[in-house]
Structure 1
Amino acid sequence: MATPSFQHLTIDTLTAWIDADDPLTLVDIRDPMSFASGHIPGSRHLDNDSAPALLEATSRQQPLVVVCYHGHSSQQAAAWLAGQGFAEVYSLDGGFTEWEHRLPERVERSRP
């Protein structure tokens, strides 16, 4: 039996998907303070507490993109999510750090 896997996703591809309004689920696994200080618009924070709700409410058929700081931790989370039955799971290469560096105008910040 093959191990469920994920794919790598470039920032350029994710930007094109967002601009085309393609249906996707975007999750950010960074710590809550980092997420609040800036995240990709449309993303939701994912941690151990919110994972059950994500698993229950999210379509397994639409692409799921995992974002972390630099694109390393997201690979482990993406592999786990692929094992939960999501058909298309991606880890964002470069993570939020690279996104913010390249696209500072496309960062949403939560207000206190």
Structure 2
Amino acid sequence: MNFLTQIDNLALIALMLVTGTALFLPTLSTLISGKGLSPTEATIWINRRKAAVIDLRPEGEFKAGHLPGAKYVPSNEIATRIEKLKLDRKNPLILVCETGASSRKAVAEVQKLGFAEVATLDGGVQAWQAAALPLVK
């Protein structure tokens, strides 16, 4: 009986560790790669928090359709081009690409430029379109 109790306790401890790890992984991902926003959260940031939107996709894709108010900045020129936009570093900044992968890579570089709060659009423009939100040409 005592042996079975120890096995039950070990199983509970293992379950607790697995659950804790599963809960912490999204937080760890956010700490490493910046905050990811759903299309709804991005809309709230844009409308209520005056977030600037930077589109890192190739120029042709940007011209074909982009988020309302987005500014085009090539991902390989992000440091120099953001400086020219003269954005308020106190306001949030949302980085956008096609799927969210390229924008996550640019977060650290933008944070080094002194922006207090930088986020990416999870799923990128594809997620924006999937949420039936408008693109501007």
Smaller-chain TM-score range?
0.7 to 0.9
Q: In structure 2, how many angstroms separate the alpha carbons of the residues matched to 1:19 and 1:13?
A: 10
1:49 to partner: Cα distance: 4.7
Higher RCO (C-alpha 8 Å, min separation 6): 1
Is residue 73 from structure 1 mapped to residue 102 from structure 2 by the alignment?
yes
Which residue of structure 1 aligns with residue 64 of structure 2? Answer: 37
1:65 to partner: Cα distance: 0.4
List structure 1 runs of 4+ shifted beyond 6 angstroms. none
Select which of 79, 94, 107 maps to 2:123.
94
Instruction: Give the gaps of 5 or more residues in structure 2.
Output: 1-30
- Could you tell which deviates more after superposition, 74-83 or 4-13? 4-13
Q: TM-score, normalised by structure 1?
A: 0.81
Q: How many residues align?
A: 105
Q: In structure 1, how many angstroms separate the alpha carbons of the residues matched to 2:130 and 2:118?
A: 24
Q: TM-score, normalised by structure 2?
A: 0.68
- RMSD of equivalent CA atoms: 2.1
Q: In structure 1, how many angstroms separate the alpha carbons of the residues matched to 2:67 and 2:56?
A: 12
| Cα deviation digits, residues 27-74 of structure 1 (max 9, x gap) | 000000000001000001011456424224111111010000101110
**SS state of the match for residue 58, structure 1?**
coil
Contact 1:25 1:43 (8 Å CA) reproduced: yes
Counterpart code for 2:56: I
**SS state of the match for residue 66, structure 2?**
coil
Higher alpha-carbon Rg:
2
Contact 1:5 1:83 (8 Å CA) reproduced: no
